[in-house]
Structure 1
Amino acid sequence: MNFSTDSDSTVYVGNIDPRITKDQLYELFIQINPVLRIKYPKDKVLQTYQGYAFIEFYNKEDAEYVIQIMNNTVKLYDRLIKVRQVTNSVGTANLSSNNSKDIALPIAKLFVKNLADSIDIDQLAKIFGKFGKTISKPEIFHLSNGKLKCACVYFEDFEKADLAIKSLNNQLVANSRITIDYAFKENGKASTKYGNEVDRLLNKEALKHGMLK
């Protein structure tokens, strides 16, 4: 299937620092909506990126939402990236201000393993809340046919999540030794965890612009 640069599901991304790789662009934008494909041209002689890219999403609504969230809000290596919709007409598409879709911004998602049976959601929230603000209540679930109690915890920023990992990993909580690490991404590459360089850059910008409140 050919890449389409005039589709209403494709966005143009400009003012990209040449140090940003194609993989980093993917990691950045997939946190907002699933990415179908990326066209990121290189100079044929120098083999360096030319500072712009076309990113195609699965539908028009996803593309519009990315523009709404990303345009003039994210700095990468001190460059404020520009994101606009690619259309056959001049100008950008009109965006709805009543989009009810949940924002998939780069919060710090932790995976907690081997919790004691006595630990509930409120207790877990209290334990992790000592290290910083969390976005929502923890989610508790069971693995290994119900034998292994686990949870996901969502911090507002990575510094607080780093501190929680450093302080609690391999520690006894309610007589059970827990392990904590960044969770794997559900919609990214199978081996990719939260907390990489792009996650942290985007998280700082989101906090700066009040997008996580």
Structure 2
Amino acid sequence: MANVAQVYERNQEATIYVGNLDPKIDEEVLWELMVQCGPVANVHLPRDKITNTHQGYGFVEFKNEEDADYTVKIMNMIRLFGKPIRCNKSSQDKKTNEVGANLFIGNLEPEVDEKMLYDTFSAFGVLLFAKVMRDPDTGASRGFGFISYDSFEGSDAALAGMNGQFLCNRPISASYAYKKETKGERHGSAAERLIAANRPSDLPKGPGAAPAKGGGKGGPPGMPSMRPPMLPPGMPPPPGMGMGGPPPGMPRY
């Protein structure tokens, strides 16, 4: 097990985060799985100090960055002990990548799981996560889920291409999700789009994205140019971003 010093000395660019791990998974199982993608330098599962059970996530450090990138591409959302694991680069800050391009996906068939949701919607852009909401007692799907893109281009394309389309013989609904801790306000607003369009140019906008160099016209290097928010054709300004979505009281993203 890695100690604190090892955690800080870890090569972050060659390290991936692995989440949604079943309690049966230990360091040996995770090592044996990940070594199929390349030489592994270290596996660390943070554990509860009292029960010694891991907390459902861990970190895998590879001996080179290329193997870490390859693992994220092929291992993300595969099922391990019946649960789809989530893999992404440890060096990526999810909050940095999130821009508010979060969609609610409703009327899902019970057999639609996270991997199917991810595979279906990743065709429209880079997904940060795909989650099917489940009953906490039975684990059965509640018939809806959420996805998040790294840009509004991806979420707009998914909204236009998938709302009302059939997935597993059932027409699904897609709309911008309600924001947490708001009264009926949805993601996808003009304000969010303006912020996303003018994010600092040295921040990547998605997994694998190269940082932009320099700024827009009329500004010093590194200073983003001010651009107006882009709304998709036919989409009204907020708050009317889509008509579907969970009613008040249901989860928001």
Shorter chain as normaliser: what TM range? 0.3 to 0.5
TM-score (norm 2): 0.39
TM-score, normalization: structure 1?
A: 0.46
